Chain A
């Protein structure tokens, strides 16, 4: 298109990830009337997985914002319009009822207006919203507001299925119903949140909701097994200084766990409703603490192909990016097994919550020196001081039973206790 004439470019909600169907506008960085350069960020959106900027598709003037902050819309929804060229100066609300006001102005100027064609008359209301009617995407109709008040539904959290993502009556009613028995709609119960809000941050509330859902959905049981970490600790101490292995035993435990999963594939599976799927690959979720902001579980795809070193590097990198909110949506989905490692604070055991829709989660707590009884080479019982840890496995009794859980843990323990530094 020639640059001299004015043209309008739509800014649409991008598909930020293969499985993403919607996004929420978090914040507009530009206002109508502002000049924008191509690629300059004009708003932040949240896709349930990550928060990211949307860069401007073109240079011009932002003329219209169609979706307000806090509104969730489907992928592909027009969020704003940018006009390039000479005519892009009009800022303000959406097309002010052209079909109506133009006709009226013309009529007063001269003879009575021609009767509108039937189609124009019918279409007037839907295609050119009148000035008195707010833009569909940002508007809550009277019945929606009333029902939301009555049922205690927070409209900012309701997905709109109406035109331009408008929240409709059905959506409010569905949200009201779902707050009692809402099924999980994301894979990860952890998601980052860019906004702090009220007493509990949005992230906290989301985490809480997802945790609750997991506990309500799965028949969660936890099995513990103690493991002697001498060899693992030796491996860690013996790692070269330049290696990234030295931080925690997590990469070694992860590697060992994946080997154990190869023997016990029932635990590398997902259960969604009645559909139980075993996975060949291990896409390993690794819980990363974001401090007060909560948790996130980035996923290392095909982790079973990585060495301990590679795992270490991957974990370190993911954690870094997670804390900077630089993860992509595909990095927080698709996990088949999760490992969590909060042991740095000294806790011994925990009852981790399963990361839906997976069937198991492995918890690595603190490694502490303990006096244990072992058999010496002569077969006598002696007391020795060894670094021990209690491996915890929460597992879903709908898909597994205690024997399988114990067998897996046993396999893991064997590997850890015979660790020889190899992946």
Chain B
């Protein structure tokens, strides 16, 4: 089985889908000749041509809006926001046009919006965001956030094949740092959670880059800690979350996104409501405080959930 980086896995998924389905095309800023700001589509225009790998004007609203148009007449556009942060410019098209079309008219809008997200490298306030909660909150939009290479490929494939608008969060920090075995050919990863490590004393729930932080933080704890990788935020794998909490009775939820109303807040509410009798301790969260992500390294490191912060919170909860 080939080993590749998280980024290569994403490219692989796109490539496979472009080859397999003529309805699929890629569009975004600088994706064609330049191969994309992160080189995800490097070499694509050479293989697939400019009709299927399209450089767009700098116009996030139109990128998403035109994707909607193309999708309703039978295509499968995969659009890229150069940074997740810029999806704010296309928020209206995504939430109001794409998200509501099926509910209102039964009109499916099969678009994928890829968002290179996350911080940790002095990207500053506009290149480090994790905006998934905005779209969890908008009806009609699916939200995926893989943490390992195998899932990155499988979930992107699933997203492209899904008849709904899908926001796909690719964590920039994982692009080249995470490698793994990735099955060749076409496969779909189900939109469910994954147990990254099994345990019995405590569950840490995370997604994206925080899965790796959670695994590292709990490796050497003298306790059996389960790490649950959500992978899919909408739909949220409630059954897996509740099963893990029933097993360990203690849960820590990690969000790299700003704390208030992050995905973890929804997970915490779900657990409090449906797993109250399983709990042997308060539901704890570790998240970035409600500040724009700062640029200077000591400031950024102070706000993003660190391995140490996660570990301390685990210890605290284990001792409770």
Contact = CB atoms under 8 A, between A and B. Distances in A.
A115 B289 contact: yes
- Mostly helix, strand, loop or mixed at chain B's interface? mixed
Interface in B286-302: 286-291, 302
B280 A141 contact: yes
Contacts of B35: none
Interface in A106-153: 115-119, 121-122, 125-126, 133, 136, 141-146
A115 B290 contact: yes
B280 A168 contact: yes
B289 A146 contact: no
Interface stretch (B65-73, B182-190, B311-319): B311-319
A370 interface: no
A204 interface: no
B302 A126 contact: no
A84 B317 CA distance: 33
A136 B280 contact: no
Interface in A137-181: 141-146, 162-163, 166, 168-169
Interface stretch (B26-34, B82-90, B271-279): B271-279
Contacts of B282: 125, 133
Contacts of A146: 277
B281 interface: yes
A116 B286 CA distance: 12
A141 B303 contact: no
A144 to B, nearest CB: 6
A163 B286 contact: no
B284 A125 contact: yes
B249 A143 contact: yes
A118 B309 contact: yes
B309 A144 contact: no
Q: What range describes how many residues of B lie at the interface?
A: 20 to 34
Q: Which residue, B281, B312, B319, has most C-beta atoms of chain A within 10 A?
A: B281
B16 interface: no
Contacts of A118: 288-289, 302-303, 305, 309
Given A143-B249, A163-B319, A119 B278 contact: no
A145 B276 CA distance: 11
Given A118-B302, A118-B303, A166-B320, A142 B279 contact: yes
Nearest to B246: A143
A168 B320 contact: yes
Nearest to B310: A122
B316 A169 contact: no
Contacts of B249: 141, 143, 169
Contacts of B286: 122
A145 B280 CA distance: 10
A121 B291 CA distance: 13
B259 interface: yes
Contacts of B289: 115-118, 121
A126 B303 CA distance: 19
Contact of A141 (B279, B291, B305): B279
